Amino acid sequence: MANEMQTFVTVKSNEPRVAKRLQEIFKSRRGTYEVDAIDIINNLEGTSYCYKNEKENFDVDVDFPSNDLWESIIGPKWMNVEFDYSELPEDCHIILSSAWSVPIPFLLRLRDELQMIDGDCYLKGTYEDESYDPSGAFIVGKYDYDDMEDTDEVYDWDMHNEDDFYTENWYAELNEMATNLEIAYIEYLKDREENPQEYE
């Protein structure tokens, strides 16, 4: 089985309509809490795709997304989402589980969708492979701004077994990386506002 990457997403916006849009994007076609890549593609594209076991006389050319569409919206070969709605976007709980890598195409598409509602909305978060290698932080913002940084530190499984706080400290460092990326992004926005001629 392919390695699983978990991506923890925070949506930075104070606009309740952004949270409503997240709820629409992460709606399951089966009416369950399990949301997969097919759900997301359908919700974004207005399609009715499904998996082979969900439809009699399934036709892969009609009933399943093309490779190009999948790669442009999702990226990895599979992705599932854990989503809990809250009225404020920052309080929405979003964890993406995907094959091998961070689903960058989806993060970019999600940013674009949400910025149609709130132009200042941006995404930040952390990610970790099930082996913790790679792990890191990311930010996706305005003006096609995006940055991603892997941690230089290798997860020490011996320390994991010896130190009760090792993993907790590991996550604190990842969150600090995400905060630093956010600070750099905010500084970029400020510089762009103060020196617009440099960005023309």
Angle at which helix 37-45 crosses helix 16-25, to 10 degrees, equals 120
Confidence at residue 33, expressed as pLDDT on a 0 to 100 scale: 77
> Which of 76, 107, 135 is CA-nearest to residue 10?
107
Query: Do residues 123 and 185 touch, judged by C-beta distance below 8 A?
Result: no
CA pair distance 200, 189, nearest whole angstrom: 14
Residue 130 pLDDT exceeds 80: yes
With residue 11 as reference, give the H or E element that holds it: strand 4-12
Write out pLDDT tens, residues 53-108: 999 999 999 999 999 999 999 999 999 999 999 999 999 999 999 999 999 999 99
Confidence at residue 2, expressed as pLDDT on a 0 to 100 scale: 53
CA pair distance 31, 82, nearest whole angstrom: 14
Give the 3-state secondary structure of residue 78. Answer: coil
Torsion over CA: 29, 33, 36, 39 (sign): positive
Least confident of 10-19, 72-81, 122-131, 162-171: 162-171
Q: What is the mean pLDDT of residues 114-120?
A: 98
% of the chain at pLDDT higher than 70: 99
Backbone angles phi, psi at 148, to 5 degrees: -140, 135
Confidence at residue 32, expressed as pLDDT on a 0 to 100 scale: 77
Write out pLDDT tens, residues 149-180: 999 988 999 888 899 899 999 999 999 999 99
CA pair distance 167, 171, nearest whole angstrom: 6
